């Protein structure tokens, strides 16, 4: 299957999943459901950040992301397998370590519950040196999906730190 068709298939799957989830619309969720989903997505995100800080690309690739997952950026939409995600994150943390990075710390964030199985996590992160100084500030939005293996990242995209996804609930 060509990359183009994988992208189309993933996009259609996401749209169908968002639009055609009978009985799972966000408006049918109670405030308690929203609170529970936000806590679960936040926990999944914390596991991802902890693995990133351990430079554990294998955990990230196989336990934090769906298969496939989409990375949206300047080169368009790129789908990746768990093995490709693991390699990408191992490479990223190795390169960051060469520049003095020791950890990433989350700051402002918001979680938008779309429905019982879909949520957006929008967050700001500081990449921190050993001495505690901030190397860079980053911002990323993550599309989470809850499947048989729990909450996983289905897609992510970086953006300007002054932009934020907003949500009305």
Q: Tell me, yes or no, whether 56 lies in a domain.
A: yes
What does the pLDDT read at residue 75? 87
Are the beta carbons of 121 and 165 closer than 8 angstroms? no
For the record, the structure tokens of 111 come out as 């979680």
We report the CATH number of the domain holding residue 98 as 3.10.450.50
Q: What is the pLDDT of residue 38?
A: 97
- Distance CA(23)–CA(43), nearest Å, equals 25
Q: Which helix or strand (DSSP H or E) is residue 34 part of? A: helix 31-53
156 strand-pairing partners: 71, 142
| Positive or negative torsion for Cα 151, 117, 34, 121 | positive
104: containing domain? 3-19+29-158
Q: What residue has token string 């996009």? A: 11
Q: How many domains are there within the chain? A: 1
Enter the pTM of the model: 0.83
pLDDT at 3: 46
Give the chain's mean pLDDT: 87
């Amino acid at each position: 299957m060509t990359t183009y068709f994988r992208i189309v298939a993933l996009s259609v799957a996401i749209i169908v999943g968002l639009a055609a989830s009978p009985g799972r619309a966000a408006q049918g969720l109670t405030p308690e459901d929203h609170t529970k989903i936000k806590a679960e997505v936040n926990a999944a995100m914390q596991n991802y950040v902890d693995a990133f800080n351990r430079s554990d690309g294998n955990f990230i690739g196989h336990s934090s992301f769906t298969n496939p997952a989409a990375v949206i950026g300047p080169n368009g939409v790129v789908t990746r397998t768990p093995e490709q995600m693991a390699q990408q994150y191992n490479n990223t943390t190795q390169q960051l370590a060469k520049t003095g990075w020791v950890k990433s710390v989350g700051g402002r964030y918001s979680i938008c519950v779309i429905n019982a199985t879909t949520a957006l996590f929008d967050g700001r992160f500081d990449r921190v040196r050993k001495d505690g100084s901030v190397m860079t500030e980053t911002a990323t939005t993550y599309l989470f999906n809850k499947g048989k293996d729990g909450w996983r990242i289905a897609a992510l995209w970086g953006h300007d730190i002054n932009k934020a996804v907003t949500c009305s609930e």
